[in-house]
């Protein structure tokens, strides 16, 4: 799906188009990888919504991680190591979203640059959360992954909800 987005953006053929936030791109790749063939086809209409979602700052990355991780944590039975890693990722994202600029947030910002967090740390956290969500959620995995991807797009302001949806 990200290759389609790269073509829509008139960028070189890649699964990491520059116009898409790197964490959002990682979520899309993971959702695509964990979907069935039919589920992958149903993701394609979302492609235009990814254009121009690459916003800088800790907030966009942390929002995406918090959403993906909270979905994974509430989805079902996790392995203890998964629960521990995802719990730490969730706490980190929530601390980065803390708007009062407390000591914990200062420490995290000192520890990681925004570029390092969004390019390495947040991508790993979000991709693992999507993989866990795909494995542990009941019901139709494709529906759950597509719904998570739509929620992620909403956090970036890419999908507007209509009264009927």
Q: What is the pLDDT of residue 99?
A: 58
Q: In the predicted model, is pLDDT for residue 5 greater than 90?
A: yes
Q: CA gyration radius for the chain?
A: 16
What DSSP designation does 151 have?
H
The C-alpha angle with vertex 62 and arms to 36 and 3, in degrees rounded to 5, equals 40
CA separation for the pair 104, 114 (Å, rounded) = 15
Query: How confident is the model over 69-112, as pLDDT tens digits?
Result: 999 999 878 889 999 999 999 999 998 888 555 545 555 666 77
Residues 6+ positions from 31 with CB-CB distance below 8 Å:
43, 130, 134, 145, 146, 148, 149
What DSSP designation does 87 have?
H
- Calculate the CA 21 to chain-centre distance: 9
Of the two residues 42 and 114, the one the predictor is more confident about is 42
Longest dimension (CA), the chain: 47
Mean pLDDT of 115-142: 91
Q: Please indicate, yes or no, whether the overall pTM of this predicted structure exceeds 0.95.
A: no
Q: Choose among 124, 138, 120: nearest CA to 30.
A: 124
Query: How confident is the model over 15-26, as pLDDT tens digits?
Result: 999 999 999 999
| Contact predicate 54/19, CB 8 Å | yes
Query: How confident is the model over 43-69, as pLDDT tens digits?
Result: 999 999 999 999 998 999 999 999 999
């Amino acid at each position: 799906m990200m290759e389609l987005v790269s073509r829509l953006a008139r960028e070189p053929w890649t699964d990491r188009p520059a116009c898409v936030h790197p964490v959002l791109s990682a979520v899309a790749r993971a959702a695509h990888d964990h979907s069935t063939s039919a589920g992958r086809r149903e993701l394609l209409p979302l492609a235009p919504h990814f254009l121009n979602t690459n916003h800088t700052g800790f907030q966009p990355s942390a929002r995406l991680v918090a959403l993906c991780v909270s979905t994974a944590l509430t989805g079902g039975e996790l392995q203890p190591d998964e629960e521990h890693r995802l719990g730490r990722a969730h706490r980190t994202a929530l601390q980065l979203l803390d708007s009062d600029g407390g000591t914990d947030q200062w420490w995290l910002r000192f520890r990681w640059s925004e570029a390092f967090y969004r390019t390495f740390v947040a991508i790993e956290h979000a991709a693992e959360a999507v993989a866990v969500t795909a494995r542990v959620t009941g019901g139709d995995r494709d529906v759950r992954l597509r719904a998570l991807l739509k929620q992620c797009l909403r956090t970036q302001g890419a999908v507007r909800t209509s009264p009927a949806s």
